[in-house]
Amino acid sequence: MFAEVDLQQMPLPEKLALFETLWAELSSEPEQVEIPQWHKDILDARLEAADRGEVEVIDWEVAKNQIRDMVR
């Protein structure tokens, strides 16, 4: 069942928490989520750039903490 939420009235930290909960649920069964080919192409290009050392790569937990710090 879906609970209605007024997203425009929800504070950003709550929106992020809701998004993380939703993403955790969606990603628990990745085979159920279809990924468009153009998404795969972009990811492949970014991985290749990372492999060539053209971009800085940081740990996902570090990235999430940086994002949280920016929105506080």
> So where are the chain's domains?
35-72
Cα distance between residue 6 and residue 29, in whole Å = 27
pLDDT at 48: 96
Picking from 4, 20, 1, the residue whose alpha carbon sits closest to that of residue 12 is 20
Question: pTM for this one?
Answer: 0.46
Mean pLDDT, consecutive 10-residue segments, the chain of 72 residues? 78 93 90 92 96 93 95 88
pLDDT at 1: 54
